[in-house]
């Protein structure tokens, strides 16, 4: 038994040494350039498609900022990207991730407003889950001095999306009521905090029962996601609610529309009900589509209801509204410095632990945001499951079923 423990200690030390060596400086690429570590998605599918790889380090182009990444945000959308469960996904292999934070390492020509050493957070059109990213200056924002890197990685996407849905789309005002699905998630908690900045706003939150004790103080009313929330809401507010924020879609769409008061607004900002298993399911997608109530414009007109959709990433990267997002970010950072809002961080994970982190999101186990901490040392058993590969992501694939039989490690605070 003692020998077995000694062997395990020796193996653990060996793995830690190996990971330390990876972090020691910038590795020279065969062509003379520098390399970095990044999470690579080799192809759409299950968790076995993700690996930590060595990749050529990018250099900033005109108008770009080069960031030495400290932490990245992990969202449910990233899980859908991994499955190929989005419209027009880029062709793999690719580096996932849409938001990160870190320190400015250099700037490209014609780049103004940032200097080497600035602490920043940024939106990235993919490629965020890496040690270094380059992104246009319009998508980069300076961090407040008191903000930590995990907080910054949890801030950008969740709070900007929550603010724009509440104030730009739904025009939240004093005395209104808001129903939010997945109230325990990153966006849900951001919504709850922003609603608290407006007097007399009631928040109806829906979340898994095991999250209730942790989030009960952030909302006015809290319901289990497995019960008939329509009846429970109407017991408290017979006329319904003014705003519904839905990240689920499917059968919830019709229920939520029926809960709207006259002049109420329903906003769809996700479709997590289409994700059931580890890989993309045509049956789940078709079922969710079939369950969505077909909206009759005449009925909307007669009932004085508004239905809307919101995608922050499309607004930034496809529709060119970065100046509007910048104004929203300025307002949010002001609220942060006034200590009126603060991102909720669920847990920190090393890049090599990305599979376990994604599984936690898939299981809806998180309260707040999951963060990939680029400098965190992985738990040895997790690290051994994320083998180093080439940039092309070539490796011996595991059978899909292996993921179910593997022991899941507990999350790391």
Give tens-digit pLDDT for 373-386: 999 998 876 544 55
Of the candidates 251, 226, 266, 274, the one whose C-alpha atom is nearest the C-alpha of residue 77 is 274
* Burial state string for 30-69 with b = 16 or more CB within 10 A and e = fewer than 16: eeeeebbbbbbbbebbbbbbbbbbbbebbebeeebbbbeb
Collapse the DSSP code of 148 into the 3-class scheme (helix H, G, I; strand E, B; otherwise coil) and give the result. coil
Q: Based on the structure, what is the number of domains in the chain?
A: 2
The backbone torsions φ and ψ at residue 41, rounded to the nearest 5 degrees and listed phi first, read -95, 110
Are 60 and 134 a contacting pair, CB within 8 Å?
yes
pLDDT digits (tens, 9 = 90+) for 226-237: 888 889 999 999
Are 196 and 335 contained in the same domain? yes
Residue 337 has pLDDT above 70, yes or no: yes
Residue 88 is part of a domain; what is its CATH number? Answer: 3.90.180.10
Domain check: are 97 and 192 in the same one? no
Place of tokens 């709850």: 192
Looking at the structure, tell me whether residues 168 and 135 fall in a common domain.
Answer: no
- Residue 137 is predicted with a pLDDT of 97
Residues 208 and 106 in one domain: no
How confident is the model at residue 386, as a pLDDT? 52
Residues 6 or more apart from 61 whose CB is under 8 A from it?
108, 134
- Report if residue 375 sits inside a domain: no
> Are residue 211 and residue 129 in the same domain, yes or no?
no
Cα atoms found within 13 Å of the Cα of residue 101, Cβ hemisphere only: 24
Within a domain: residue 374?
no
Q: Is 103 exposed, middle or buried (0-12, 13-18, 19+ CB in 10 A)?
A: middle
- Tell me what pLDDT residue 28 has: 57
Asked if residue 69 belongs to a domain, the reply is: yes
Final residue of a structural domain among 116, 131, 150: 150
Beta bridge partners of 123: 99
Residues 96-106: tens digit of each pLDDT: 999 999 999 99
**Which has more pLDDT, 130 or 24?**
130
166 and 281 in a single domain? The answer is: yes
User: 44 and 114 in one domain?
Assistant: yes
Each residue of 144-190: pLDDT tens digit? 999 999 999 999 999 999 999 999 999 999 999 999 999 999 999 99
Domain that holds residue 121: 35-150
Query: Over the chain, what is the mean pLDDT?
Result: 83
Residue 67 and residue 103 in contact, taking contact as beta carbons nearer than 8 Å: yes
Asked if 139 and 162 sit in the same domain, the reply is no
pLDDT of 402 over the 50 cut = no
Give the tens place of pLDDT for each residue, 242-258: 999 998 876 778 888 99
Q: What is the DSSP letter of 276?
A: -
Could you tell me which of 91, 95, 96, 92 has the C-alpha nearest to residue 78? 96
Neighbours of 79 (CB within 10 A): 20
Would 96 be classed as within a structural domain? yes
Q: 281 pLDDT exceeds 70?
A: no
Instruction: Scan for tokens 């103080």, then name that residue.
Output: 217
Find the CATH number of the domain harbouring 198.
Answer: 3.40.50.720
Cα(231)–Cα(91) distance, integer angstroms: 45
From CA 124, how far away is CA 98, in angstroms rounded? 5
So what's the pLDDT on residue 69? 98
Please give the pLDDT value at position 94. Answer: 96
pTM score: 0.82
Residues 241, 234: Cα–Cα separation, whole Å: 9
């Amino acid at each position: 038994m003692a020998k077995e423990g000694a062997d395990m200690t020796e193996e653990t030390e060996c793995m830690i040494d190996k990971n330390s060596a990876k972090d020691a400086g910038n590795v020279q690429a065969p062509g003379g350039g520098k390399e970095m570590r990044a999470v690579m998605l080799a192809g759409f599918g299950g968790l076995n498609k993700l690996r930590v790889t060595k990749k050529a380090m990018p250099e900033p182009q005109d108008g770009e900022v080069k960031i030495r990444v400290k932490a990245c945000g992990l969202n449910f959308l990233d899980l859908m990207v991994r499955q190929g469960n989005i419209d027009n996904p880029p062709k793999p292999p690719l580096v996932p991730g849409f938001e990160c934070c870190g320190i400015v390492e250099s700037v490209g020509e014609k780049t103004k407003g940032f200097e080497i050493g600035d602490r920043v957070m940024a939106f990235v059109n993919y490629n965020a889950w890496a040690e270094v990213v380059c992104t246009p200056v319009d998508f980069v924002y300076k961090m407040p001095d008191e903000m930590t890197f995990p907080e910054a990685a949890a801030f950008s996407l969740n709070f900007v999306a929550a603010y724009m849905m509440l104030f730009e789309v739904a025009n939240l005002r004093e005395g209104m009521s808001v129903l939010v699905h997945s109230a325990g998630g990153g966006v849900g908690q951001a919504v709850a905090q922003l609603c608290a900045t407006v007097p007399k706003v009631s928040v109806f939150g829906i979340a898994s029962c095991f999250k209730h004790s942790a989030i009960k103080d952030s909302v006015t009313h809290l319901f289990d996601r497995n019960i008939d929330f329509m009846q429970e809401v109407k017991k408290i507010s017979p006329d319904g609610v003014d705003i519904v924020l839905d990240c689920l879609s499917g059968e919830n769409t019709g229920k939520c529309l029926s809960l709207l008061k006259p002049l109420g607004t329903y906003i769809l900002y996700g479709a997590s009900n289409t994700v059931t298993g580890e890989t993309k399911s045509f049956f789940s997608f078709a079922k969710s589509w079939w369950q969505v109530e077909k909206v009759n414009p005449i009925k909307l007109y007669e009932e004085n209801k508004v239905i809307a959709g919101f995608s922050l990433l499309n607004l930034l990267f496809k529709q060119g509204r970065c100046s509007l997002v910048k104004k929203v970010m300025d307002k949010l950072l002001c609220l942060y410095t006034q200590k009126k809002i603060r991102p909720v961080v669920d847990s920190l994970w090393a890049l090599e632990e990305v599979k376990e982190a994604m599984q936690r999101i898939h299981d809806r186990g998180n309260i707040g945001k999951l963060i990939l901490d680029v400098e965190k040392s992985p738990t040895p058993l997790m690290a051994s499951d994320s083998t180093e590969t080439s940039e092309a992501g070539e490796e011996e694939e595991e059978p899909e079923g292996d993921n179910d039989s593997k022991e899941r490690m507990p999350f790391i605070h």
